[in-house]
Amino acid sequence: MAAAPIWILLLMGFLAGLGGAEAQQTTLHPLVGRFFVHTLDHAAFLRLPEHVAVPSTVRITYQAHLQGHPDLPRWLRYTQRSPHHPGFLYGTAALEDRGRQVIEITAYDRNSFDTTRQRLVLIIGDPEGPQLPYHAEFLVLSHDVEELLPSTPASRFLTALGGLWEAGQLQLLNITSALDRGGRVPLPIGGRKEGVYIKVGSASPFSTCLKMVASPDSHSRCAQGQPPLLSCYDTLAPYFRVDWCNVSLVDKSIPEPPELPPTPGDGILEYDPFFCPPTEATARDFLTDALVTLLVPLLVALLLTLLLAYIMCCRREGRLKRDLATSDIQMLHHFTIHGNTEELRQMAASREVPRPLSTLPMFNVRTGERLPPRVDSAQVPLILDQH
């Protein structure tokens, strides 16, 4: 009974911990066709006061996925440069993505191994304001995607682009890393960046400067290694280094005509002066060709078979003829070789054969004499006197 209060206190502490770990919920309203970005800030997950800065030693990583699914929706991307930097959820929703989507985010503190959950409710609606039928895409070589996702660099890019295009009508449509478009990871030397594709939309037509940059003549000059045709001042430099050879313009102000469904025909081809069908062929008798094709290989195979049979069967000398042509000594050696081999094997197995004299100790090969075994071998000369 004394342990009951302890279990009650532990249960209350566990429930309090669950209440503290309840996921935060934030509601956002992205628009179809407009660029959306949400910053995953360390301070929001650590629940620090506004006047308290995040310590530099804090390392937090994030994992985001669509509720009930293992990954994010197809229009949304996640990126984070390192655990010391904030994470970003960004992308552009399409018409088929309208509705309510719930993104579950889990933050992992790499120092204390604490986890914090956040639920992001996205209510995707129709775009507001005028339509943007004029789209222009630029490749910025001087930045990474994490550097342009915050609002300040993106606004600076639109302001600088206003010098080449009519200001006040530009809106950001999409930002994509060059690595997602087939680019290569740059070497970590010389301050090289990955590159970012920025798509901008406007209700105003393209300026003459942009049309000249995207003209076929400008692309042909770029293919030859020459600078593109840029007739106006580059207002994006020096903050943004744009690859003017990689600028694409899309005009959606003129709707494309709908594709007509195919009309079924009568199945008869129209007259074509370049098509000459073959004339009617005369009747031919293929019996001779068939006989030649079949009988000639068969006759050749039969002749080869007969020739081989004659060589193998009729041209053999025979055993008796070979024995008569062989000398008697060679035949005796041939017939007794197996017996001799068997006799040597039996002698080796019995071990009753006396040892050869040459293997006995102190045996004189020339005289055949053997010294007594008790004679001191050190006093026996190595070379005996020759008589």
Per-residue pLDDT of the chain (387 residues; tens, 9 = 90+): 445 445 544 444 444 344 444 568 889 999 999 999 999 988 888 877 777 788 888 899 999 999 999 999 999 999 999 999 999 999 999 999 999 999 999 999 988 888 889 999 999 999 887 888 889 999 999 899 999 998 888 889 988 888 888 755 788 999 999 998 888 888 888 788 899 999 999 888 888 888 888 888 988 988 898 888 887 888 888 889 999 999 999 888 877 778 888 887 777 777 777 777 777 777 888 888 999 999 999 999 999 999 999 888 877 767 777 778 788 888 888 888 888 888 888 877 776 656 655 555 555 555 656 555 554 555 545 555 544
Per-residue DSSP letters for 14-32? HHHHHHHTPPEEEEE--BB
What pTM does this model have?
A: 0.60
DSSP 255: P
- How many CB atoms neighbour CB 208 within 10 A? 11
Strand partners, 32: 93
How wide is the angle at C-alpha 213 spanned by C-alphas 212 and 215, nearest 5°? 60
Calpha distance 116→107 (Å, rounded): 5
**Residue 150 C-alpha from the chain's centroid:** 32
DSSP state of 47: T
Q: Which two tokens stand for residue 230?
A: 């840029």
